[in-house]
Amino acid sequence: MAYVINSTQSLAFKAYDYYLWTLSLSDQRTRGWPMVDSPAPTIFYTLLYLFIVWVGPKLMARRKPFRLTWLLIPYNLSMAVLNAYIAIQLLTASTRLRYSYICEPCRQRNHPDELQIADAVWWYYFSKMLEFCDTFFFILRKKDSQLTFLHVYHHSTMFGLWWIGIKWVPSGSTFLPAMVNSAIHVLMYSYYGLAALGPAVSRYLWWKKYLTILQLIQFTCALVLGVNGLRTGCDFPLWMHYMLIIYMMSFIVLFGNFYIKAYMERGNQVFFGMDVGCGQGNTYINKRNQQNGQSHNGIQSNSDKKLN
């Protein structure tokens, strides 16, 4: 028994020493920034998110769904503005620095444009916590069918992974996936915010059908970026390349499984206008919901009528 206790203590001390060593490698430019120094806030909010995902539908089981149109409009439009700010900050600074879209090492320089990129990456990390609200709105509106594993997996992991990003590699090639994803989120949140205004507005929102394609292109490009980094020996943390590849492959596999199920239920119409479990719109609606005329934000748009 004493041997087991000593071995466990020895292993714990080694793990703690390794943790301290990894902290010594973190980027000095972001030390002292909100929620960056310690993983505790990120872990706490992620666990709280998962707890709400578990208990929320149970609490709402005997309650009527909230419409929340008054809240969805400002929330979605505010998220669109925040993502536009992030994308513009990353684009302008990376352009002035002549960043490579293929491979850009992370250099701990205090150049104003480098700091601008690090600042934008922090806001991108913080926006992943704000996006927890997407799930909370599903729960309050009793859209339990949209609380898929893909949706929860995406939201619960992105926040933690981007804490790693802002902690160790807040610049360099990190800028590209954050910039592209933010640009796509501008279109996505703009759509959901404007669609909540009703059919009079939603009929003019022509870009919804391209969101799925853009998201899939994003996943594929990120995967290619990671593989190319390994192939060319890009001067960027090796473990980041492997993490990116594994994470993107998990998305492609999960989305593929999700899409097959959706396709079997709704046919070839399911591809266009279906978000990849990352937003608040309908991914795919089961037949019962179709018959009941349910749609995103509690309002049935013309496009939804065509699909029913």
Q: Residue 33 domain-assigned?
A: no
Q: Residue 48 domain-assigned?
A: no
Mean pLDDT by 10 residues, the chain (308 residues): 74 77 82 94 98 96 91 94 98 95 88 96 98 95 88 94 94 92 93 86 81 82 87 83 89 79 60 52 44 39 35
Q: Residue 146 domain-assigned?
A: yes
154 is catalytic: yes
Q: Residue 23 domain-assigned?
A: no
The number of C-alpha atoms within 13 Å of 19 and in the hemisphere containing its C-beta is 9
Put simply, whether the predicted model's pTM sits higher than 0.85 gets the answer no
Query: Vertex 51, ends 290 and 168: CA angle to 5°?
Result: 105
pLDDT at 303: 37
Are 196 and 73 in contact by the 8 Å Cβ rule? The answer is: yes
pLDDT at 289: 44
pLDDT in tens, 191-222: 988 888 888 888 888 877 788 778 888 888 88
Question: Which residue of the set 154, 185, 241, 296 is catalytic?
Answer: 154
pLDDT at 106: 84
Nearest to 70 by CA among 170, 202, 198, 187: 198
Query: Vertex 250, ends 246 and 255: CA angle to 5°?
Result: 150
Q: Residue 22 domain-assigned?
A: no
Q: Residue 139 domain-assigned?
A: yes
Q: Residue 259 domain-assigned?
A: yes
In total, how many domains does the chain have?
1
pLDDT at 206: 83
Domain carrying residue 256: 66-307
Are 277 and 150 in contact by the 8 Å Cβ rule? The answer is: yes
**DSSP secondary structure letter of residue 66:** P
